[in-house]
Structure 1
Amino acid sequence: MPTDVDRQLAQADALLARTRDRYASVSKRSRQRREAEILRRVGRIALADGLIIAVALVLGFVLPAGIGMFGALLMMALLIAATVTLAIFPGSAPPRVEQLTQVPLKALPLTTERWLEAQRPALPAPVRGLVDSIGVKLEMLAPQLALLDEHAPAAGEVRKLVGEQLPELLKGYQRVPEPLRGVERNGLTPDQQLAQGLQVIDDEIGEMSAQLAQGDLDLLATRGRYLQIKYRDDGLPG
């Protein structure tokens, strides 16, 4: 006869399985965002290289002897340096987790999404779809927060969920040594606990967005629904 632990394990495994399928389209959107970033990098490289070539051509016409062999070599070196630099280095450093509690409310969704994108490679593949889903919902939430008073009680609920509880969940998981992340403890593995916590946050952001869209600020501010994430009770560092 199945025990409570068996049922809990089955539910966690089912959640991981649903995550792989349910967020396939969201992962596609995430890939599209990364492809757009690549296109922006290519555009910056083309602009920089074009500027270097234009300057070389102008100097070639202005200088009596042209740019000469040394100038041509210098131009090639600058082209290579600009291309490599713009291709390797990110356009901007990802935000630090401390910034999530400091940025203005209207900038919180985009800042959190950029921070999440930087954490994504360190997370197990089955939950990356949930991370992508949270990122999409944050995009949807951004215009609504831009109209919300920074000091409203509802704003505090959003900031607590997105700026505090979400980072705490991921930081707690990342503190678990990698070999232990698949080891069951108190009925669940850290991977399963992470999936459950992200699912709760994903659902909460969706509900917050719906309530903001309906103008239910009082309900959002007074419902008192704080995350009860399993990892805190089951031993995953928080």
Structure 2
Amino acid sequence: MSEVDAQIARANEALERARERRSSLSRRAGRRREGTIVRRVGAIVLADGLIIAIALAIGMVTPLGTLGAMIVMGLLIATTLVIAFARTDAAPTPERLAETPLKALPLQTEQWLEGQRLALPVPARTLVDSIGVKLETLSPQLARLDEREPAAAEVRKLVAEQLPELVRSYQQVPEPLRRTERNGATPDAQLVEGLKVIDQEIATMTAQLAQGDLDLLATRGRYLQIRYQGDEGV
């Protein structure tokens, strides 16, 4: 196989991973929507049933009449509309990530990171896909990890603090300066390098959690360190 063929093959593999990633996100988003619909329908049935039960109980004591029937119908319609169109949970933000329960943190971070995707340079988007896959793998392990464990604090620091801070710092750089080199690197390159470090750290944390090496994870002492460079760097 020639070098050109090898590069094409690698590009195709990257595209396939990205497609699988987006497909996975779409499936999970669909399941969340279905779950929301089921919960809303259940709440509507329960609330409307309660209104009808109260109306029947009142009707056994005194006739409701036309006005009473119209009031009951109005209550049923209003209740149904309020529950059906009630605002769902707000989109994840870095501030909300800091307060998210550990077991829900990977999914919330994944959703937030996907929302930043189009604002990042193309090389960084591949890493967004990779981090998303690793977060999905990490999720069931965090569900079994006690929030009070020092290892939990290390995971939270990386995923809920350092990752959002890296992306947010990059986005604060004016767009024309993101490809301007300073001190040997552009903000685009610094972002990509930082995401690589985080990607590797999440993989390492996942492996250590899988092996039960909580003490090792808690004492890693390896943090993402990005030196800010004013308006001209991340």
TM-score computed with the length of structure 2 as normaliser: 0.67
- Is 1:110 the counterpart of 2:104? The answer is yes
Structure 2: state its 5+ residue gaps.
1-9
Check whether the contact 2:18–2:129 (CA below 8 A) recurs between aligned residues.
yes
- Is 1:82 the counterpart of 2:86? The answer is no
Structure 1: state its 5+ residue gaps.
1-14
Deviation at 1:166, TM superposition (A): 1.3
Higher relative contact order (CA 8 A, sep 6+): 1
Check whether the contact 2:102–2:143 (CA below 8 A) recurs between aligned residues.
no
Deviation at 1:41, TM superposition (A): 1.5
1:44-193 counterparts in 2 under 5 A?
44-58=39-53, 59-60=55-56, 62-63=58-59, 64-65=63-64, 67-85=68-86, 89-90=87-88, 92-93=89-90, 97-98=94-95, 107-108=101-102, 110-111=104-105, 113-124=107-118, 127=125, 128-143=128-143, 145-146=145-146, 150-151=149-150, 157-177=154-174, 179-180=175-176, 183-186=178-181, 190=187, 193=190
Alignment-derived partner of residue 199 in structure 2: 202
Deviation at 1:169, TM superposition (A): 1.0
Percent identity for Structure 1 against Structure 2: 34
Give the Cα separation in 1 of the matches to 2:202 and 2:78.
49
CA distance change for structure 1 residues 99 and 34 in 2, over 3 Å: closer, same or farther?
A: closer
CA distance change for structure 1 residues 170 and 209 in 2, over 3 Å: closer, same or farther?
A: same
Give the Cα separation in 2 of the matches to 1:50 and 1:119.
36
Check whether the contact 2:92–2:111 (CA below 8 A) recurs between aligned residues.
no
Report which of the two structures shows the higher radius of gyration computed on alpha carbons.
Answer: 2
CA distance change for structure 1 residues 57 and 215 in 2, over 3 Å: closer, same or farther?
A: closer
- What is the Cα-based RMSD across aligned positions, in Å? 4.0
TM-score computed with the length of structure 1 as normaliser: 0.66
Give the Cα separation in 1 of the matches to 2:210 and 2:203.
11
CA distance change for structure 1 residues 23 and 229 in 2, over 3 Å: closer, same or farther?
A: farther
CA deviation string 1:26-59 (max 9, x = no partner): 3322222211221122112212221243234321
Give the Cα separation in 1 of the matches to 2:148 and 2:56.
58
Deviation at 1:76, TM superposition (A): 1.6
Aligned length in residues: 213
